[in-house]
Amino acid sequence: MIIENGCPLIYVAGTIEKEPINDVKELKKMLENGPDTLRIEAMKATLSLLSNGQISAGSSMLMAVIRFVMPQQKNKLLKKLMLLYLELVPKVDVEGKLLSEMILVCNGLRNDLQHPNEYVRGASLRFLCRIREAEILEPLLASVRSCLVDSLISLII
């Protein structure tokens, strides 16, 4: 059985009117220093570049996304864009080994699975359903189980 990677189509509304941002350094600066609205625009531009193949393997932006976007818990749109980015970015190197940055992603996902907000937990569970790398999923099994058990208990009560 051959499993192919999906290819999402991302349409960013409003990109026709204004010039898209193509500079990776500028995008990193927007993620680091900007307010949430600027970070959202930077994530949209990053997703557009990544899905179009213009950012080489997306790894140049991975650490910036992990450091400056992943800890953000208040903005749901930013969280969605971050999870979509993590879904698209390659998780293994050319040799097939898991990238070292994915350990940080696993830690962030574990924190999201234990978050008191149901939306954050649900979005993280949905993201994990789309991951095929066993090295990412194995450390999160206990958190996923406890999250699902807690959800089931809350439905019963």
Mean predicted confidence (pLDDT) in 97-108: 92
At 124-139, the pLDDT tens digits run 999 999 999 999 999 9
Mean predicted confidence (pLDDT) in 18-43: 85
> Which residues contact residue 52 at a Cβ distance below 8 angstroms, ignoring those fewer than 6 apart?
none
Instruction: Provide the CB-side half-sphere exposure for 19 (13 A, CA).
Output: 3
pLDDT band at 7 (very low <50, low <70, confident <90, very high): low
At 46-102, the pLDDT tens digits run 888 888 777 664 567 899 999 999 987 788 899 999 999 999 888 888 898 999 999
To which residue do tokens 């509304």 refer? Answer: 13
pLDDT at res. 131: 92
Which candidate, 64, 12, 65, places its Cα nearest to that of 41? 12
Mean predicted confidence (pLDDT) in 15-36: 77
pLDDT at res. 142: 94
**Phi, psi torsion values for 98, nearest 5 degrees:** -65, 135
Domain assignments of the chain as residue spans, ordered by start = 1-90, 92-157
